[in-house]
Amino acid sequence: MAKLYFRYGAMNSGKSTALLQAAFNYEERGHRVLLAKPLIDTKAEENIVSRLGVERRVDFLLDADFGVREVFQEHREVSRRAFGRDVSCLLIDEAQFLTNEQVDDLLRIAILDDVPVMTYGIRTDFQTVAFPGSRRLLEIAHSLEELKTICRCGRKAVFNGRRIGDRFVFDGDQVAIDGVQVSYESLCAACYLQESGGKLSV
């Protein structure tokens, strides 16, 4: 029986790199994979981009109103006709932006369609509040794996600080994709509390 995997970490922990490596490993052995990400993630348009400079176009984007299983089955059938073999794995980047219903669909793909689903994302936002997609994955995924990165001080980073210009901010909308003024920094708990004045959420 296939499984649903959630690989999570703070910003810059190599999630997209790990996803692209997993896709490469499957394909190197002659398997077909499908890559997808939520439509709301516009920072790289229709691509998954690693900080190492590797990038790849996704097979499909997921609007919040889309049923993931239905869209997956359509692309699975296209792959069968084009390549003469079934899909061996579905890989999802930026999984924190999925809805609860979409995460439930990923479990159905793994269990009912017997296709492994590997998701990658961050657990919490810049206010240490779980994203809906991440929360649901933590609840139902078969396998949870933390991808680690370090804070500027050298300790393990677990939180995501949001910066506007050269200062950290701790209020605002949960989703603010990287732009000219908005950036993020991975922080350990101590550095996060130091920057936030002791606050963990608003």
Residue 174's closest CA among 119, 121, 123, 131?
131
Locate tokens 């949870």: which residue?
A: 144
Q: Choosing from 27, 28, 74, 94, which is the catalytic residue?
A: 94
Q: Which of 21, 148, 151, 185 is nearest to 93 (CA)?
A: 21
27 has catalytic annotation: no
Q: Choose among 24, 134, 136: nearest CA to 88.
A: 24
| Distance from C-alpha of 96 to C-alpha of 119, rounded to nearest angstrom | 9
**Nearest alpha-carbon partner for 94 in 136, 41, 44, 140:** 41
Active site (catalytic) residues:
94
